[in-house]
Amino acid sequence: MATEKKPYVIGLDLGGTNSVFGIVDAEGNVVATTSVKTRGHGPVEQYVKDCVEALQSTIAEVGGIEQIQGMGIGAPNGNYYTNCIEYAPNLPWDQENIPLGKLFSEALGLPVAMTNDANAAAIGEMTYGAARGMKNFIMITLGTGVGSGIVCDGKMVYGSDGLAGELGHVRVEPHKGRECGCGRTGCLETYCSATGVARTAREIIETSDTPTILRDIPIDQIESKDVSIAASKGDEVAKSIMDFTGRLLGRACADFACFNSPEAFIFFGGLTKAGDLIMDPIKKGYEENILKCYAGKAQMLISQLDDAKAAVLGASALGWEA
């Protein structure tokens, strides 16, 4: 006789800056949330301990751990097959293979499943958001890094080892490109992530005397949202940064279309809050570089799920089957 499932699961969206937890019911409602800074905990074991402590009051809101079926984690380079994080450049732990699923499972006494953070966002979008009903699409997450989740024929692409689909580490400037946390140069995420946008702004300020309101901010404190705000006010330097970023990302997406022929590219993360300032250049870069046989077929959409909700929901979906 099958064991009756419990009413809730925990979803974790593990980002380079924040770790967002949600307790989710079977209908996809996020009924309780909490968050923890990803950095500043020391070893990964201490991070897990601090997260579990922060979760206690949230778990109590739904009646205690006995009401939780399992936990799903969406993490950079999270391996669906091994429940480990492998070679994640934007996380604070200097380990090649982090058994995060096992650590949380032991600390909470729950079964835990894991996937790539962008894959988790794609699963959430496919279930609850803009990709509902789609069988072929690519999710692009624009945060501390650039992540991607690829869906072909209605199935996530994991590859032979669980690590397929790292489009943020496709090299767009391989010869004289920026150094990336992955150890290579010229990766897409060094230009088109929130970190990359801030990096572009700093380079322009340091190498030119062009007037811009961004000079009013200490150079080491400039963030992508500052660039977005300045661009919305008509600042020409900020607008040029958004244009450069968007066109480069659009050009990369034109290449990605060759192996997936997607119905849509769905963009998720803080940079999308810039709206047309980033989306118009993306569309232009795509249209200027797309093969004729794919032209006019893929939609360019912003996620319908706010902030971390898509990734939390996608991660939580794994918890039901953990």
What's the pLDDT tens digit per position in 102-142? 999 999 999 999 998 888 889 888 888 889 999 999 999 99
Domains, the chain, in order of start with CATH, read 8-122+309-319 (3.30.420.40), 133-302 (3.30.420.40)
Distances 25 to 52, 109, 311 between C-alpha atoms, Å: 19, 19, 15
Chain-centre distance for alpha carbon 320:
22
Torsion sign (Cα): 250, 255, 258, 262: negative
Q: Does 2 have pLDDT greater than 70?
A: no
**Average pLDDT of the residues of the chain:** 92
Cα distance between residue 219 and residue 142, in whole Å:
22
pLDDT of residue 308: 59
Strands, E, within 4-127: which ranges? Answer: 8-14, 18-25, 30-37, 68-75, 85-86, 97-98, 112-116
Label residue 307 by pLDDT band (50, 70, 90). low
Q: For 237, which DSSP code? A: H
Compute the average pLDDT of residues 89-107: 90
Q: Which long-range contacts (CB under 8 A, 24 or more apart) does 257-262 make?
A: 257/290, 257/291, 257/294, 257/298, 258/291, 258/294, 260/136, 260/138, 260/150, 260/152, 261/136, 261/294, 261/297, 262/136, 262/137, 262/138, 262/298
> Higher confidence at residue 312 or residue 252?
252
pLDDT of amino acid 90: 77
pLDDT of residue 150: 96
In this prediction, residue 311 carries a pLDDT of 81
213-217, 268-272, 303-307: range with lowest mean pLDDT: 303-307
**Hey, what are 109's tokens?**
């006494």
**CA–CA gap between residue 8 and residue 66 (Å, rounded):** 10
Task: Read off the pLDDT of each residue in 36-44 and give the average, rounded to a whole number.
Answer: 94
Q: What are 44's two structure tokens?
A: 């990964």
Average pLDDT over residues 5-12: 94
- Phi first, then psi, for residue 172 (nearest 5°) are -100, -15
**Global pTM?**
0.82
Percent of the chain whose predicted confidence (pLDDT) is above 70: 98
